[in-house]
């Protein structure tokens, strides 16, 4: 069963609707106990990383997420802010991230309009089970003022151009994430979510 983490600042309903469309069983997760019963985890997100971390901490989900994702290595998919919070530090505010992967979160320069809002091209760096079946360089829907810069270049699964080239998909072991909204990227996003439901958390 996929657990979709539900917290006040999140957009779990959109992810649940997308999974329902695909016929995939999923449950909303609000507590550490509920998290223990899932074998795959999606952390959706909108808004601000600081508010997201605060919201997760309030629900006492931070240590439980670490146990399931880092220790138990269940397949994990972060979406949008759910990508940004898995890193260590953010320019957005004083709150640290979950720190599962080394890297920082940076703000786009004001040379383009911020936030970036719209469909943009994702250049895939290597084949991965999550992107199986996609045509090369798919267009996905982004809404972000910040982006992650992973320290490990191998964690970068896809890149996108906006002011600069930034990491738009992350994959490192059982941890994967999309900066774009997979649940709002049309049939391409649904393909990624469908792949996640079958993914065993390895690269091949």
- Give the footprint of other proteins on this chain (CB under 8 A): 8-9, 11, 13-14, 17-18, 20-21, 46-48, 51, 81, 110, 112-121, 133-135, 138-139, 141-145, 161-162, 181, 183-190
Query: What is the closest distance, in whole angstroms, from the C-beta atom of residue 20 to other proteins in the complex?
Result: 7
Q: Which residues contact 174 (CB under 8 A, 6 or more apart)?
A: 69, 73, 74, 75, 76, 201, 202
Cβ distance to other proteins smaller for residue 145 or 202: 145
Containing 56, the helix (H) or strand (E) segment is: helix 49-58
Tell me the closest approach of the beta carbon of residue 93 to other proteins, in angstroms: 12
Closest approach of other proteins to the CB of residue 191, in Å: 8
CA–CA distance, 187 with 192 (Å, rounded to integer): 9
Note if 91 is an active site residue.
no
Bridge partners for 95 per DSSP: none
Q: Which of 91, 92, 181, 187 is catalytic?
A: 181
For other proteins, which is the closer residue by CB, 71 or 111?
Answer: 111
183 is catalytic: yes
- By the 10 Å C-beta count (0-12 exposed, 13-18 middle, 19+ buried), 58 is classed as exposed
| Tokens (6 digits) for 155 | 């964690």
Tokens of 36: 């223990």
**Residue 128 is among the residues annotated as catalytic for this protein:** no
Among residues 80, 92, 140, 167, the one annotated as catalytic is 80
CB nearer to other proteins: give 76 or 142.
142
Half-sphere CA count of 155, side-chain side, radius 13 A: 22
Q: Two tokens at 194?
A: 């469908």
Shortest Cβ 27–other proteins spacing (Å): 16
Nearer to other proteins, 20 or 73 (CB): 20
Are 152 and 170 contacting, i.e. CB atoms less than 8 angstroms apart? Answer: no
Active site residues: 80, 181, 183
């Amino acid at each position: 069963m996929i657990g979709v983490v539900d917290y006040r600042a999140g957009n779990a309903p959109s992810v649940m609707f997308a999974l329902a469309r695909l016929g995939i069983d999923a449950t909303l997760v609000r507590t550490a106990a509920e998290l223990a019963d899932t074998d795959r985890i999606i952390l959706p997100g909108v808004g601000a990383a600081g508010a997201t971390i605060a919201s997760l901490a309030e629900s006492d989900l931070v240590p439980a997420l670490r146990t399931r994702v880092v220790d138990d290595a269940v397949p994990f998919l972060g979406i949008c802010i759910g990508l940004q919070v898995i890193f260590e530090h953010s320019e957005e505010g004083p709150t640290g991230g979950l720190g599962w992967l080394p890297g920082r979160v940076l703000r786009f320069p004001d040379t383009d309009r911020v936030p970036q809002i719209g469909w943009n091209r994702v250049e895939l760096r290597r084949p991965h089970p999550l992107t199986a079946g996609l045509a090369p360089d798919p267009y996905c829907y982004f809404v972000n003022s910040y982006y992650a810069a992973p320290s490990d270049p191998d964690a970068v699964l896809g890149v996108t151009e906006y002011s600069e080239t930034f990491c738009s998909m992350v994959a490192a072991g059982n941890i994967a994430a999309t900066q774009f909204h997979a649940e709002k990227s049309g049939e391409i996003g649904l393909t990624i979510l469908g792949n996640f439901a079958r993914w065993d958390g390895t690269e091949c």
